[in-house]
């Protein structure tokens, strides 16, 4: 089976661990991992190229709202894995008023994360700041934009936060504290799940073993971070590991409605049809709960 993962670090490590340390093999699964960004990953899932896609919650509800019959079987990152890095002149959230703020490409999870993070401190993202969208490029593009003065605040994850802070920026807000959210969801087509539930269960069993190994074994975890994220330097590895193992990736990654309610609210402001998405229909926590009870 072919499983896609995203370019950002976030909730991906348990998949990498499960692949590289033979956990999928032990479950009797021939799993190939393929790097595909969230937007393209939904198209690959719909076409049948991939059987499991790692996508953001925003992409998930957008796909469901547009008619995609999909099911979330796990949420590997139930928080936004970012820090809001700002220029030195911004000392408090109130100082963000009128400032140029990066909302990423405006079509996915970064936009949603910024909106909900600003709302968590009483700011209206559409009125209180200057919304700046880019043409894509992920974290490197957002980091470059703030370093070059194109924006004054952006969301960045460790270890890129180290680069930002060495350049004079400082963290103003911790997006992991802005509320539960499905930043990285494991998504399947309902048709595939109905026909392959035992396979899906073995897949999730191996993923939970990957979660446990990632959180408990720093050496093996940092080895996969080096391989898949090309992280170099112990300082960068430690910053990434400590943040994602301790603050982002949960021990039991079951999908919950509250991880999507804020996303639906934010996304429906752009795509009103998202408000009609039935979360009870698209979430299936049973595979994760069965795996967790057996561990």
* Residue-wise DSSP of 11-34: T-HHHHHHHHTTHHHHTT---EEE
User: Could you list the residue range(s) of the whole structural domain that residue 224 is in?
Assistant: 2-79+181-294
Same-domain check for residues 188 and 288: yes
Same-domain check for residues 54 and 199: yes
CA-closest candidate to residue 62, choices 82, 41, 80: 41
139 vs 105: CA distance, rounded Å: 11
The predicted structure's pLDDT at residue 67: 92
Residue where a domain stops, chosen among 145, 161, 177: 177
pLDDT per residue, tens digit, the chain (295 aa), is 999 998 777 889 999 999 999 999 999 999 999 999 877 899 999 999 999 999 989 889 999 999 999 999 999 999 989 999 999 999 999 999 999 999 887 666 788 889 889 999 999 999 999 998 876 667 778 888 888 889 999 998 899 899 889 989 999 999 998 878 888 999 999 999 999 999 999 999 999 999 999 999 999 999 999 999 888 899 999 999 999 999 999 999 999 999 999 889 888 877 899 999 999 999 999 999 999 998 7
Q: Provide the 10 A C-beta neighbour count for residue 100.
A: 18
The predicted structure's pLDDT at residue 179: 79
Same-domain check for residues 217 and 266: yes
159 vs 243: CA distance, rounded Å: 9
Write phi, then psi, for 113 (nearest 5 degrees): -60, -45
Same-domain check for residues 25 and 8: yes
Residue where a domain stops, chosen among 139, 155, 177: 177
* Stated pTM of the model: 0.89
The predicted structure's pLDDT at residue 165: 92
Same-domain check for residues 74 and 87: no
Same-domain check for residues 173 and 187: no
CA-closest candidate to residue 288, choices 180, 185, 213, 189: 185
Same-domain check for residues 207 and 278: yes
Same-domain check for residues 51 and 102: no
| CATH code assigned at 146 | 3.40.190.10
Same-domain check for residues 190 and 276: yes
The predicted structure's pLDDT at residue 108: 67
Same-domain check for residues 110 and 215: no
- Tell me, rounded to whole angstroms, the distance of Cα 234 from its chain centroid: 24
Are 9 and 249 in contact by the 8 Å Cβ rule? The answer is no
Residue where a domain stops, chosen among 109, 142, 177: 177
Same-domain check for residues 245 and 259: yes
The predicted structure's pLDDT at residue 64: 94
Strands (E), 6-113: 32-35, 52-55, 70-77, 83-86, 100-102
The predicted structure's pLDDT at residue 151: 93
Same-domain check for residues 88 and 75: no
User: What is the count of structural domains for the chain?
Assistant: 2
């Amino acid at each position: 089976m072919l499983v896609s993962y995203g370019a950002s670090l976030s909730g991906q490590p348990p998949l990498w661990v499960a692949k590289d340390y033979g956990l999928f093999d032990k479950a009797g699964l021939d799993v190939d991992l393929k790097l595909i960004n969230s937007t393209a990953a939904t198209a690959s899932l719909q076409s049948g190229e991939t059987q499991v896609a790692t996508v953001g919650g925003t992409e998930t509800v957008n796909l469901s709202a547009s008619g995609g019959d999909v099911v979330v079987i796990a949420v590997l990152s139930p928080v936004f894995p970012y820090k809001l890095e700002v220029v030195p002149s911004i000392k408090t959230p109130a100082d963000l008023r009128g400032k140029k703020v990066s909302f990423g490409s405006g079509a996915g999870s970064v936009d949603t994360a910024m909106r909900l993070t600003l709302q968590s401190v009483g700011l209206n993202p559409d009125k209180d700041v200057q919304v700046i969208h880019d043409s894509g490029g992920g974290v490197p593009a957002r980091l470059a934009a703030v370093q070059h003065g194109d924006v004054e605040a952006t969301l960045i994850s460790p270890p890129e936060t180290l680069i930002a802070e060495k350049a004079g920026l400082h963290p103003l807000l911790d997006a992991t504290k802005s509320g539960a959210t499905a930043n990285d969801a494991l998504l399947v087509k309902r048709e595939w799940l109905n026909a392959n539930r035992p396979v899906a269960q073995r897949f999730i069993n191996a993923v939970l073993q990957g979660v446990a190994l990632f959180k408990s074994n720093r050496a093996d975890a940092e080895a996969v971070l080096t391989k898949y994220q090309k992280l170099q330097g112990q300082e960068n590895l430690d910053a990434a590991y400590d943040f994602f193992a301790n603050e982002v990736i949960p021990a039991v990654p079951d999908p919950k409605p509250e991880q999507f309610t804020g996303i639906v609210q934010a996304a429906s402001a752009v795509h009103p049809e998202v408000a009609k998405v039935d979360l009870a229909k698209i979430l299936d926590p049973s595979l994760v709960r069965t795996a967790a009870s057996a561990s």
